[in-house]
Every structure is written in C-alpha cells, then in structure tokens.
C-alpha cells in the first residue's frame, strides 16, 4: 500500500497529526489502523 500523507488525512486527521505519526512522535491507535486498512488501493480510486 503506497499511501501519501494527503491520502491519510481523511482517515486519521490533520496533516500535523499524520506528520507526528510518521515521525514517531505519536502512536497509531487500533482505530486508525483499521481505517487505514479500509482505504482502497490507489488504482481503484477516482
């Protein structure tokens, strides 16, 4: 799954929250992981 920051904003939260997660300053919650897992692959998206 090749997601970019912009792809995760609707699933996780704002750009700053995603940056904190990617920089390991904030942990992913189980709820966040479930939401990310449901994101369709890029080739199937509009």
What string of DSSP letters covers 7-21? HHHHHH--HHHHHHH
Alpha-carbon distance of 25 to 44, in angstroms, equals 31
Supply the pTM of this predicted model.
0.65
Domain ranges of the chain: 5-44
Closest CA relative to residue 3, chosen from 37, 28, 34, 46: 37
φ/ψ of residue 18, rounded to 5: -65, -40
Cα dihedral 2/41/29/23 (nearest 10): 20
Question: How do the pLDDT tens digits run along the chain, 46 residues long?
Answer: 577 788 788 888 888 999 998 899 999 999 988 988 887 766 645 5
């Amino acid at each position: 799954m090749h997601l970019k920051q912009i792809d995760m904003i609707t699933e996780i939260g704002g750009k700053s929250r995603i940056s904190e997660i990617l920089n390991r300053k904030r942990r992913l919650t189980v709820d966040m992981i479930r939401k990310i897992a449901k994101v369709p692959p890029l080739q199937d998206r509009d």
